Amino acid sequence: MNSGKSIVLPGDLLDGGNIEVRGLGRSYAVYTIGEKVYAAVPGVLEVSDDKKVFTPLENVYIPKPGDIVIGIIVNVSLSYWSVDIRSPYTAVLTAQEFLNRPFNAATETLSTYLAEGDYIIGKISSFDRFKSPFITLKGSDKFGKIVSGKVVEIKPSRVPRVIGRKKSMLNMMMEETGCDITVGVNGVIHVKCKEPVVEDLVALAIKKIEIEAHTSGLTDRIKSFLREKLSELQGKEVS
């Protein structure tokens, strides 16, 4: 079997049934006719001596319990918020989950706490495609309303590249910039730095990763990019 990467288009033959699919759920990314598997969306096919891996280039986010997501409030009801998580499924954040106490709709208004347009960080607690995904804010001190920083959106299929193997890309960006970066599986990223100008720089680096995700040596190039731009910013401060 020849090794390497290749771009495939919808309808292209991938292989028999033994192929790993990353990013999207298998039922969304590929389809099967007989014993042959075909791409349902554009993607990259990576072939090695022992396996084939298909990674969609374009995808939608399908929630899974345990996923960390960043969403935006799109509707406020009497007892819960509707949250756009860039998925075909709108998520639900209940009042009791956010407030961590009983909620009385007769005496309180939810928009006092979260209004349309506010961003939140949370985790998918349950989802089975027959009801809306629910968001929990338990499990991390990062979960809750975003009150500062910058939100960056990328294609969900690029999220693994932003994180990197063993978090190599993500850790490198945080070490080089001193910023805190939270990556949502749904392709929404929260960047919080000491200075807004550095947040803008990190956002540029993330978009650069999105565009160049299919290339090799990307971590080193992003590191050089950040160091060069940070040096330029420091030079402007000195002058």
For residue range 193-208, list pLDDT tens digits in order. 999 999 999 999 999 9
Same domain, 155 and 224: yes
Same domain, 162 and 132: no
Same domain, 129 and 171: no
Q: What is the CATH number of the domain that holds 32?
A: 2.40.50.100
What band does 15 get if pLDDT is binned at 50, 70 and 90?
confident
25 to 40, 80, 82, 229: CA distances (angstroms): 11, 28, 24, 38
Same domain, 91 and 136: yes
Q: Say what the pLDDT of residue 57 is.
A: 72
Q: What is the CATH number of the domain that holds 102?
A: 2.40.50.140
Same domain, 163 and 222: yes
Q: Examine residue 42 and state whether it is found in any structural domain, yes or no.
A: yes
Q: Which spans in the chain are helix H?
A: 26-29, 95-99, 159-163, 168-177, 196-211, 218-238
Same domain, 136 and 154: no
Q: Say whether pTM exceeds 0.85.
A: no
Q: What is the CATH number of the domain that holds 169?
A: 3.30.1370.10
Q: Of the candidates 62, 66, 93, which has an alpha carbon nearest to the alpha carbon of residue 80? A: 93
Q: Examine residue 84 and state whether it is found in any structural domain, yes or no.
A: yes
Higher pLDDT, 5 or 168: 168
Same domain, 38 and 17: yes
Q: Examine residue 221 and state whether it is found in any structural domain, yes or no.
A: yes
Same domain, 132 and 162: no
Angle at 170 between CA 91 and CA 227, to 5 degrees: 135
Q: Say what the pLDDT of residue 170 is.
A: 98
**CB of 122 closer than 8 Å to CB of 137:** yes
- The residue segments making up the domain with residue 91 are 68-145
Question: Which residue type sits at 199?
Answer: E
Q: What is the arithmetic mean of pLDDT over 86-103?
A: 91
Region label for 176, one of left (φ > 0), alpha (ψ between -120 and 50) or beta (otherwise): alpha
Same domain, 140 and 195: no
Q: Examine residue 232 and state whether it is found in any structural domain, yes or no.
A: yes
For residue range 65-83, list pLDDT tens digits in order. 999 999 999 999 999 999 9
DSSP one-letter code for 176: H
What band does 1 get if pLDDT is binned at 50, 70 and 90?
very low
Same domain, 48 and 100: no
Same domain, 33 and 75: no
Q: Examine residue 174 and state whether it is found in any structural domain, yes or no.
A: yes
- Percent of the chain topping pLDDT 90: 62
Split into its structural domains, the chain has a count of 3
Q: Examine residue 215 and state whether it is found in any structural domain, yes or no.
A: yes
Last residue of one domain, picked from the residues 130, 145, 160: 145
Same domain, 161 and 230: yes
Q: Examine residue 61 and state whether it is found in any structural domain, yes or no.
A: no
Q: What is the arithmetic mean of pLDDT over 217-234?
A: 96
Q: Examine residue 63 and state whether it is found in any structural domain, yes or no.
A: no
For residue range 102-135, list pLDDT tens digits in order. 888 889 899 999 999 999 999 999 998 678 999 9
Dist CA 218 CA 161 (whole Å): 9
Q: Say what the pLDDT of residue 16 is.
A: 66
